[in-house]
Amino acid sequence: MSVTIYHNPRCSKSRQTLQLLKDQGIEPTVIEYLKTPPDSQTLDSILTMLNKEPRELMRKQETEYKEHGLADTDLTREQLIQAMTEYPKVIERPIVVNNDKAAVGRPPENVLEIL
Residue 113, classified by CB atoms within 10 Å of its CB into exposed (0-12), middle (13-18) or buried (19+), is exposed
Q: Is 94 left (phi over 0), alpha (psi -120 to 50) or beta?
A: beta
Check the CA dihedral 99-100-103-104 and report its sign: positive
**Is 70 an active-site residue?**
no
Instruction: Select from 108, 111, 115 the least CA-distant residue to 16.
Output: 108
Q: Which of 1, 10, 11, 63 is catalytic?
A: 11
Could you give the residue numbers annotated as active site? 11
